Each structure stands twice: as structure tokens, then as C-alpha cells.
Amino acid sequence: MRLDTEQITVSRAGQGSYVNGRFIPATSVETVAEGNIQPLNGKELLQLPEGDRERQTGKIYTAYALENGDIVTRADGSRHEVQAVEDWTAFSLAHYKARLVRVLEQ
């Protein structure tokens, strides 16, 4: 059985460095991957920090190794920050599960 997946773009901040005492941020690296994005269930919603309960949240299942702070961009252009990654690669269906919180556009 294969879950419906969608194409996503994952942006990960690179490692910056100090030059002459000033921090120079690195450019972010973008990778195209696939994932299954779903809404959080009731128990997961209750476990959110209070400030995140009013924001659009969801979860993603993907074979791509997500990290906290990654930005996931969906096909519709919406951007979501990755929080609380769970590594399930030790099991038969190797994947990652992560909580997504919508990035508030300025």
C-alpha cells in the first residue's frame, strides 16, 4: 500500500562562518522530496505549545531525513517549519515523521 504523496521542497540553512569577526550566514540548500502531509489528530493538538495551537499545523511522513528548522514548501506555495522530528528508520518501512507549523508571512 502506498500513501498519497506530494512533491515538496525542503530548504535547510547552511553552516555560516565568521570572517574578520563578523558572522556571514550561508545560503540555504534546497532539495526536492516527496511526503504525505496530514492534519494533526486530537491528542497531537493537545501536545502543542500554547502559542502554536492557533497556527496551522500538520504532520508529514517522508523518507527524506528532515531536521528541526527545515522549511517545507508545498506545491501551493505555503511554507511550513519542521518541528519535533521522529526517526522511524529502524523499522520495516523506513521513514520520518515530523510536526509542521505554518510560517507566518510578513
Whether residue 1 is contained in a domain is answered as: no
DSSP type of residue 13: P
Whether residue 19 is contained in a domain is answered as: no
Whether residue 78 is contained in a domain is answered as: yes
CA–CA gap between residue 8 and residue 25 (Å, rounded):
24
Q: Which helix (H) or strand (E) holds 43?
A: helix 42-46
Whether residue 55 is contained in a domain is answered as: yes
> Where residue 97 falls among pLDDT bands split at 50, 70, 90?
very high
For the chain, what is the domain count?
1
CATH number at residue 34: 2.40.10
Whether residue 46 is contained in a domain is answered as: yes
- Torsion sign over Cα 102, 68, 31, 18: positive
pLDDT at residue 31 in the model: 92
Q: Nearest Cα to 31, choosing from 77, 71, 82, 85?
A: 71
> Is there a contact between 9 and 30 (Cβ–Cβ < 8 Å)?
yes
Whether residue 45 is contained in a domain is answered as: yes
Given a cut of 50, is residue 19 above it in pLDDT? yes
Domain with 73 in it: 6-14+25-102
Given a cut of 60, is residue 2 above it in pLDDT? no
Whether residue 42 is contained in a domain is answered as: yes
CA–CA gap between residue 103 and residue 106 (Å, rounded):
9
CA–CA gap between residue 39 and residue 101 (Å, rounded):
11
pLDDT at residue 106 in the model: 64
Instruction: Give the tens place of pLDDT for each residue, 40-96.
Output: 988 888 888 877 777 889 999 999 999 999 999 999 999 999 998 998 888 777 889
Whether residue 20 is contained in a domain is answered as: no
pLDDT at residue 1 in the model: 39
